[in-house]
Structure 1
Amino acid sequence: MIRDQMNGGASVEDVLSLWAASLREAKQRIRPLFTQERVAASAAQFLDALLGNEPRKTGWMRAEAAGDSGPWRQQALLGRGRWDADDLRDIVRDHVIEHLGDNNAVLVIDETGFLKQGKASCGVGRQYTGSAGKITNCQIGVFASYVSVKGHAFIDRALYLPKAWTSDPTRLKATHVPETVAFATKPQLAVSMVKRAIAADVPFAWVAADSVYGVGDLEAALRRAGKGYVLGVHANHWFSSWHPDYLVAGEAKEIAEALPAQKWKRLSAGHGTKGERLYDWAYCPLADLDAAEYDMQLPGIWTRGLLIRRGLADGELSYFTTWCPEGTSIESLVRVEGTRWRVKEDFETTKGELGLDHNESRSWHGWHRHVSLVMLAYAVMTTVRSQVNAMMPKKTKSTHRQDSSAGRSRKSDASS
């Protein structure tokens, strides 16, 4: 990172100063969570270890970095300590919004798997995870990432409990799951995250998610809140139109196959590691509706539509149901859909650099505490990058990809 920022116009001293100030600020923000100074010190050391150069962030590795003879203080922080991981989640959210907040931001919902060997970890079971690309023994965490022109970072998380867990009081008690926790589908967890963000006055205009979350309660909640969305749906999802310019009814795949060539437009979904992510896109506005019909917070006419993406090499089609203010361009919808790649970068960086999947605690509280501390460490990384970008000359910033930074190895950058 240091050499990267020097080339962009920021000095070594500037970058080091920002790192020190941001880390100090993060520790000050979390200090009120702990009633005992020794627990607060353990949390600060935990944060230091996450941001350290150790390739793995296990309890023994964190203990060694903190100068402890064993991982017992680290384990106590995650398991036996008396502090609220949800309060830490809210601190992380406020920290991210303070530095990255933008009214046109996108809230991206996605999930990731945490591979496990045994059956004792809270929420573990044989279930599909994209992390492994198959059904395997794992935990599933649902996350909300905040994506703006200034950067991207997690602001919320939830551990998914399968019905095999919520219907087994013995397992729930053994892993200290609160009595108030009941079974919730992944879309229901997503709705809760959106509602928390709205209640906290998080500035955002859009929500993007894949087909796991694409229909039902999430759509209804977003419409009532006056938020646009681009949500993945399956090929057999039914669409019908009463738009004066485009009358159609059928499954998404059928509609796509019937589109004339002039309906397709080649656009970039954003910059990736290999350059612009180019696809062919088509947009079908299906209905213009008055916001008053949905008791929406924002008045006016909104458009329900179907967005279709086609791969250039293989012609593979993906489908998205959309909701946006009347007159929204296809370029804007493609931009929103493209932000879903940012959460993949977030998972890659937090697992590869910050030990998101190195949690050794088996309890409900341990999972949420560990993940929330990793989220805070990642927020520090992302906000430092945002501040450094703001220091760069305008010409340099125009050629520097802000969204490539958080996905790069902080350790390899720092040693450059």
Structure 2
Amino acid sequence: MKYAPPGRIENCQVGVFLAYASGRGRALVDRELYLPDEAWVKDADRRRVAAVPEEAGFASKPELGRRMLRRALAAGIPFGWVAADAVYGQHPGLREWLEANALRYALAVPGDFKVVAGKTSSQVRSLVPLVPARAWERRSCGRGAKGMRYYDWSTLAVGVRHSGRRGGAPAAPSAGFEHLLLVRRSVDDPAELAFFLVHAPVEATLAEMVNAVGARWAIEECFESAKNECGLDQYEVRKWPAWYRHITLAMLAAALLAAIRAGHPDEKGDPTRDEPA
């Protein structure tokens, strides 16, 4: 993927990927090629040149994510949590689908994301002062390049309106589940905050939620290893079938290496201790 400065256009392909993370390793398990917008999809000449199938229409990145999760469920892949960044956390359709399937999630949301606290709708950043000092817990969300990543964490019970419209009752979570706002605070700079919308069983622990948030970085690690070891990004294709062939083969090779590593841990053991997410 190439990123262009403002005002500049680059040739690129954008993929949406699903990664699987566990205490024994991680690997990319599904992929979808993202088509830029409705105008691009309706351009018959572009579709013909790129060999885009007739049945392929426009879908947002969260919609592609939901498509891959649906396939994972159908395949019987066991997983405990779904974690994703704010592009997915803000998408009401994805959240509704996850809740309809009684799935746990920990999805990042921006500071101006609105939830219902009490009887009012508030930006999540405005709720931080409501967290008592004693309610913060220091926990690691996994190992990073510089060692264990420690932050202070706390939760608040909130309501969520999936429709994104003002007014109306918050959406009801799945039976036995609740909606929570998980707040992450930097140890070095308390003003540095991150927010995650959580849908989890009422008995879920803070440690489980923190592990789920930390597991999201598995996809970055998957990209790094698949690029370095299997040539995930080493292609110059311009057609739909060629992209899927190259990406799928590279993913398969990377998954095979992950399986081999899982069977031959080093003396220090696996540096990750994430639950399936």
Q: Give the corresponding residue for 1:186.
A: 61
Letter aligned with residue 115 of structure 1: K
TM-score, scaled to structure 1: 0.58
Distance in 1 between the 2:71 and 2:272 partners? 25
Give the one of 264, 277, 295 matched to 2:149. Answer: 277
Q: Sort the Cα spacing of 1:284 and 1:136 in 2 relative to 1 into closer, same or farther, 3 A.
A: farther
Q: How big is the shift at 1:352?
A: 2.0
* 379 and 364 in structure 1: CA distance in 2 versus 1, 3 angstrom threshold: same
Matched residue SS, 1:373:
helix
Q: Please say if 1:311 is aligned against 2:186.
A: yes
Q: CA deviation at 1:175?
A: 0.9
CA distance in 1: counterparts of 2:197 and 2:20, whole angstroms: 20
Contact 2:131 2:156 in 1 (8 A): no
Contact (CA 8 Å) 1:309, 1:317: kept in 2 or not?
yes
Q: Measure the CA separation in 2 of the matches of 1:127 and 1:186.
A: 21
Task: Kindly report the root-mean-square deviation, in angstroms, between the aligned alpha carbons of the 2 structures.
Answer: 2.4
From the superposition, tell whether residues 312 and 233 of structure 1 become closer, same or farther in structure 2 (CA, over 3 Å).
same
- Counterpart for residue 257 of structure 1: 129
Equivalent positions of 1:9-408 (< 5 A) are 114-115=1-2, 137-163=11-37, 164-214=39-89, 215-241=91-117, 249-286=121-158, 300-314=175-189, 315-389=191-265, 396=267, 399-403=268-272
Letter of the 2:2 counterpart = L
Whole-Å Cα distance in 2 between the matches of residues 156 and 351 of structure 1? 16
Higher relative contact order (CA 8 A, sep 6+): 2
Q: Is the 8 A contact 2:152 2:187 kept in 1?
A: yes
Equivalent position SS for 1:138:
coil
SS in 2 for 1:187: helix
| CA gap 1:254/1:194 in 2 versus in 1, 3 angstroms | same
Q: Displacement of 1:135 after TM fit?
A: 8.1
Query: For the structure 1 residues 248 and 386, does the alpha-carbon distance in structure 2 shift closer, same or farther, using more than 3 Å as the test?
Result: farther
* Percent identical residues: 37
TM-score normalised by structure 2 residue count:
0.86
Asked whether the equivalents of residues 152 and 403 of structure 1 are also in contact (C-alpha less than 8 Å), the reply is: no
**In structure 2, distance between residues paired with 1:136 and 1:318:** 31
Displacement of 1:286: 2.8
Counterpart AA for 1:237: F
Of Structure 1 and Structure 2, the greater helix share is in: 1
AA partner of residue 15 (structure 2): G
The size of the alignment, in residue pairs, is: 258
- Structure 2: state its 5+ residue gaps: 160-171
State the Cα deviation string for residues 222-280 of structure 1 (Å, max 9, x = none): 111111000011111111145xxxx8751100001332322221110101121110111
Larger-gyration structure (1/2) = 1
Structure 2 residue identity aligned to 1:400: G
Structure 1 gap segments, 5+ residues each: 1-113, 117-125, 129-133, 288-292, 405-416
Distance in 2 of aligned mates of 1:257 and 1:137:
45
1:188 CA displacement = 0.5
Question: Is the 8 Å Cα contact of residues 143 and 271 (structure 2) preserved in structure 1?
Answer: no
Matched to 2:12, the amino acid is C
